Amino acid sequence: MAKEKGRKLIAQNKKARHDYLIIDTYECGLVLTGTEVKSLRQGRASLVDGFVQIDGHEAWLHNVHVPEYSQGTWTNHTARRKRKLLMHRMEIDKLESKSQETGHTIVPLALYFKDGRAKIEIALAKGKREYDKRQTLREKQDRRETDRAISAAKRRERA
C-alpha cells in the first residue's frame, strides 16, 4: 500500500479565528486509538468547543468531538475524551507560561492528516472584545470592496 502524501483537512474551527486574536500557531501530533483514526478518515470531527490545557508538562486536548466509528465494536472510543498532544518540551513550557497571562487561551484551529499522520494546529490566542470583532468584519468587508473595484477596473480596461 502506498504511503499518503500531502495534507487532507478533516475539520476546521472558523469560529476561533472570529472570537480570538491569534498570537502564535503550533502543529502537534495526537495520541489516538484505532477507532478514532478510522472515524477521522471518514472526515468526521468537530473542534467547536475544543481547548488545550497543560497539566504536569503535558498538553491535553479537551472537548473535541470525534464520533464513534460506525463499524466499531466494544473497543469503540468515547466521543469527547481528552487526548494527549505530542509536542516538544520547550514548546509546552512556552505555551504554559504564555497561557497563564490574563485573557490568553490555547484553542484548536484545524485537524488534518499530514503524510498519513493525524495532526492538529493549535494557537495561542487572546479573546476579542465585541468592538474588535466588528472592526475585523469592517476591515474584511472594505478589503472585499476594494478588490471588487480593482477587478472591475481591470475588466473595463481590457474591453
Q: What is the C-alpha separation between 103 and 80, in angstroms, rounded?
A: 25
The pLDDT, as a whole number, for residue 28 is 92
The pLDDT, as a whole number, for residue 1 is 53
Pairing of strands 83-86, 20-30: antiparallel
Strand partners, 38: none
Query: Which DSSP string corresponds to 90-123?
Result: HHHHHHHHHHTSTTEEEEEEEEEEETTEEEEEEE
pLDDT per residue of the chain (159 residues) written in tens, 0 to 9:
556 787 888 889 888 888 888 899 999 999 888 888 888 888 888 888 888 999 888 999 998 888 877 676 667 766 678 889 999 999 999 998 888 887 888 999 999 989 888 899 999 988 878 877 888 889 889 999 999 999 999 888 887
Q: Are 49 and 63 within 8 A, CB to CB? A: yes
